[in-house]
């Protein structure tokens, strides 16, 4: 028993001496904290500029875009009794892909890890589409002019957006060399818009008789370099590469409410420099 007690005392003394010789470990003194791992080491504050390329899809809703042209053609026309002015011409929605290139410039203010800024983003490309439709109807009874009418309406509309610029505010959170952000703002576009409606009318004294065509009625409108206004929003991420150089990836949604309701979704890659 005496020998066992003596051995236990010697083991405790040796263990204590070894523990005293060990260095202080940071993990025991709180050397690693979540704050030290997440705090940004990049200064995002200041003016920056860059270039970008984009790929996207535009969706055009042509429904109702030609209604005013059609109504203008039928003023005091007997075929108004067939409610032609309110026909659904069937132009519908069209989607089309496009590419573009441009640039961006802005200024950041950084408060610890929070970054806010103002920016202008520009893209030149071709986004838009075209829709063509035809609708025809024969009157079930003779109209007030005592004739049956065979009416056909040919309709077309197109929009091509060549330039898009957005003035946006953005907010992000700096995490290491990364700056994920969200943004929103006002959008402006330069568009070429074309619309056309032609009404073909033929008359007959009987429902089953031979229809004699009348002079077609046509209305067209061409708008070149037309300014369109809307709004935009999206999200992205900037990645610091070296010194002031950074890479960017983002998604933007823009909607323009003109005579042709158009929305454009683009994904963009860019390279910028912060001064």
* pLDDT of res. 40: 58
Domain containing 98 — which CATH number?
2.40.160.20
Which residue from 266, 97, 245 is spatially nearest to 177, judged by alpha carbons?
245
| Tokens linked to 157 | 């509309």
Question: Confidence band (pLDDT; 50, 70, 90) for 189?
Answer: very high
pLDDT in tens, 198-251: 999 999 999 888 999 999 999 999 999 999 999 999 999 999 998 899 999 999
Strand partners, 157: 131, 195
Question: Confidence band (pLDDT; 50, 70, 90) for 39?
Answer: low
> Cα separation of 81 and 63, whole Å?
22
225 falls within a domain: yes
Range of the domain at 155: 43-274
Question: Confidence band (pLDDT; 50, 70, 90) for 35?
Answer: very low
pLDDT in tens, 91-117: 999 999 999 999 999 999 999 999 999
| Sign of the C-alpha dihedral computed for residues 105, 255, 92 and 200 taken in this order | negative
79 falls within a domain: yes
237 falls within a domain: yes
- Of the ranges 7-11, 85-89, 190-194, which one carries the lowest mean pLDDT score? 7-11
10 falls within a domain: no
> Cα separation of 180 and 194, whole Å?
40
Contact 222, 173 (CB under 8 A): no
Question: Confidence band (pLDDT; 50, 70, 90) for 78?
Answer: very high
Contact 123, 89 (CB under 8 A): no
Domain count, the chain: 1
14 falls within a domain: no
Q: Rounded to whole angstroms, what are the CA distances from 223 to 24, 151, 154, 195, 217?
A: 77, 28, 20, 9, 21
31 falls within a domain: no
∠ Cα 238 241 247 (to 5°):
35
55-64 mean pLDDT: 94
DSSP helix/strand/coil, 130: strand
Which residue from 183, 192, 185, 196 is spatially nearest to 228, judged by alpha carbons?
192
Backbone angles phi, psi at 81, to 5 degrees: -65, -15
153 falls within a domain: yes
> Cα separation of 59 and 150, whole Å?
34
Tell whether the model's pLDDT for residue 26 goes beyond 70.
no
| Tokens linked to 129 | 């589409």
60 falls within a domain: yes
pLDDT in tens, 253-265: 999 988 899 999 9
| Tokens linked to 264 | 């454009």
């Amino acid at each position: 028993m005496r020998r066992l007690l003596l051995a236990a005392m010697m083991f405790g003394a040796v263990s204590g001496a070894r523990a005293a010789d060990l260095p202080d470990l940071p993990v025991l003194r709180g050397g690693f904290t979540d704050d030290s791992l997440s705090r940004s080491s990049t200064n995002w504050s200041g003016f920056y500029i860059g270039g970008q390329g984009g790929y996207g899809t535009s969706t055009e809703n042509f429904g109702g875009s030609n209604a005013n042209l059609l109504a203008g053609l039928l003023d005091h026309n007997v075929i108004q009794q067939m409610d032609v002015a309110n026909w659904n011409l069937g132009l519908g929605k069209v989607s089309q892909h496009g590419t573009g290139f441009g640039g961006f410039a802005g200024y950041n203010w950084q408060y610890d890890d929070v970054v806010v800024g103002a920016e202008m983003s520009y893209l030149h490309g071709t986004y838009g589409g075209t829709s063509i439709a035809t609708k025809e109807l024969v009157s079930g009874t003779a109209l007030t002019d005592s004739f049956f009418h065979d009416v056909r309406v040919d309709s077309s509309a197109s929009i091509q957006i060549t330039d898009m610029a957005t003035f946006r505010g953005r907010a992000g959170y700096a995490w290491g060399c990364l700056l994920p952000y969200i943004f929103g703002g006002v959008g402006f576009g330069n568009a070429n818009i074309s619309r056309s409606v032609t009404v073909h009318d033929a008359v007959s004294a009987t429902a089953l008789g031979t229809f004699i065509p009348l002079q077609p009625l046509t209305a067209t409108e061409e708008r070149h370099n037309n300014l369109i206004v809307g709004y935009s929003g999206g999200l992205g991420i900037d990645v610091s590469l070296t010194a002031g150089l950074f890479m960017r990836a983002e998604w933007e949604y823009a909607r323009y409410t003109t005579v042709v309701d158009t929305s454009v979704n683009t994904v963009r890659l860019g390279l910028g420099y912060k001064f």
